[in-house]
Chain A
């Protein structure tokens, strides 16, 4: 009897035999964490796939900006464009960035939703690192937002942006980076904000200034000093700039460089790699903050 008890107790960690199906939960390791990243990522994709309405509605706004605003303002702004350049081509990179903006941040917002509806608790009691969960979430948001951007890329021709494979791949890469950072930003906010309405209100409030200050609709040179400073603070600037550079370097238009000037800090020209590096670092920092936030217990 005594030996039976010790045996039974020692099996607590070894995993119990249950109706001949042996299930044991392993010690935490890299492989286990990777599986966790994978499944959190996959859940985002499944949810996105079943929610076609969201995919469509989040494309409405960029569509309006490109074709309605682009065409309308184009008749006015077109006069200052070099000959042969459509205003729609000019704003296309910025509007493309916008197409991932909402999807990325709102995919992070599902954490707030999960918290309100309990599912977050299922995730938080799992024997898996908080890092794996947050990374999975950021990658998931980045993936679906980029997918959203790719759909919008199909419309490139209407803005006279060439379907050049190198250009398309460059843009997709930049979209992925942007989506990742935006999702990380959203996840960081979602760690703190407990109500979905509050999250929506706050992000709505932030998204438009981010978009307007990014230089999506106007060139960043020759602005008043106060606006120059604000545009340089906006992280979106550092993706829209390189994206516009990519588009215009694939156009055979004389004087295109005037429309896609490099971002400058004072007199210093910020290199493209540095610009994208800023965005990547911001994303990683915000993701780390999110991991720290989710590691706290009551």
Chain B
């Protein structure tokens, strides 16, 4: 079932059903940085073996939540339990059980790939006899074993991300955190990263928690939590979320957009808005609506497109905005610039 914000009974129901073998359990989590409330009271559970995704624009509180779960930040209020240990009071136990891949690279680019993994193995106390075979296994998994002696600075962005995933798995964690695992990568590399992640789910007994602001990536998750302004507004499977909308999305190109929006409201009583340069609105049955539109509409229409609900629509329905509009601030563009600048410096 779909959980809407403010629907407390539904949230409780969800917790009740998932707590038996949940690997991550978060209750009433709040994080304040001075005056800014980055996370404003969230609750969720992630079951063992599940791939759970946090979907939301930059600044929604995704990274802050991950930081708390990974013991890198303390919650202002509330509790986070990861792999059976409290993230605040039992840090080391949590750290032993989790693997991390951050959105910005955390590799030492002056070391070789193997040296990076060896560093990790020693830091995590991986038994000496297991280091080599496990290293080979995780590097094989991401197709980098042959390149193990190369300096990481010679790796492409996609290879670096793959190496980070391999490193995150080296100590066989029970939970793998992926914070925007494909941000800043080209589409082809992004899809190859997903091939590795899906492959990984088959091979290892692992729970994956990831954050993303790409809708198509959220589709890979078993369940999604939509997070906006530090609050979870909906949690469910992608299919259930889409079904909950129950409406098709119609986008029209017209000669006079403001007039079209007014006309839609006057003639059909439909609320429309500009998104992605087109007049956009939702109706129960798109195919049947289009003939009526042409029959009764006074504003000239240049083109029409009807689409089934996507996660974009789900996001819009729950937050009242598209994820691209929510970004707005251009944080993403800035980060990509920073990454390019770093790559240039190396």
Question: Residues of A at under 8 Å CB distance from B?
Answer: 5, 8-9, 12-13, 15-16, 18-19, 21-28, 31-32, 35-36, 38-40, 43, 46-47, 50-51, 114, 117-128, 297-298
Contacts and interface: CB of A to CB of B under 8 A. Distances in A.
Contact of A18 (B115, B119, B120, B172): B172
Interface stretch (B64-72, B186-194, B229-237, B279-287): B64-72
B48 A8 contact: yes
A118 B102 contact: yes
Interface of B is mostly: loop
Given A36-B122, A117-B109, A125-B72, 16 more contacts: A15-B172, A16-B174, A19-B137, A23-B172, A25-B124, A31-B125, A32-B125, A35-B123, A47-B110, A118-B106, A119-B106, A121-B106, A122-B167, A126-B123, A126-B124, A297-B74
Q: What 4 A-B pairs have minimum CB-CB distances, sorted nearest first?
A: A39-B122, A127-B95, A298-B73, A118-B106
A103 B106 CA distance: 24
A36 B123 contact: yes
Contact of B108 (A22, A36, A119): A119
Contacts of A117: 105, 109, 342
Contacts of B124: 25, 126-128
Contact of B21 (A9, A50, A125): A9
Contacts, number: 131
A23 B127 contact: yes
A124 B120 CA distance: 11
A18 B200 CA distance: 11
A24 B108 contact: no
Nearest to B104: A118
B335 to A, nearest CB: 12
A298 B172 contact: no
Nearest to B119: A39
A43 B109 CA distance: 12
A78 to B, nearest CB: 45
A42 to B, nearest CB: 8
A126 B73 contact: no
Contact of A21 (B20, B21, B83, B134): B134
B16 interface: no
Contacts of A119: 106-108
19 contacts: A18-B137, A18-B172, A18-B205, A19-B203, A25-B125, A25-B172, A27-B96, A43-B108, A46-B111, A51-B110, A117-B105, A121-B102, A122-B107, A125-B70, A125-B95, A126-B124, A127-B95, A127-B124, A297-B73
B40 interface: no
B130 interface: yes
Given A23-B134, A47-B110, A127 B72 contact: no
Contact of B92 (A28, A50, A120, A124): A28
B127 to A, nearest CB: 7
B106 A5 contact: no
A141 to B, nearest CB: 16
B149 interface: no
A126 B168 CA distance: 11
A114 B119 CA distance: 14
A225 B343 CA distance: 53
B130 A50 contact: no
Given A119-B106, A298-B72, A22 B84 contact: no
B208 interface: no
B254 interface: no
Nearest to B88: A297
Nearest to B164: A122
A23 B124 CA distance: 11
B118 interface: yes
Interface string B256-300: 000000000000000000000000000000000000000000000
A18 B204 CA distance: 6
A114 B107 CA distance: 9
B126 A23 contact: yes
A3 B245 CA distance: 39
Contacts of A8: 21, 48, 205
Contacts of B171: 23, 25
A31 B133 CA distance: 22
A118 B339 CA distance: 12
Interface string B87-102: 0000111011110101
B122 A35 contact: yes
A51 B73 CA distance: 34
B100 A125 contact: yes
Nearest to B126: A23
Interface centre among B48, B111, B119 (most CB of A within 10 A): B119
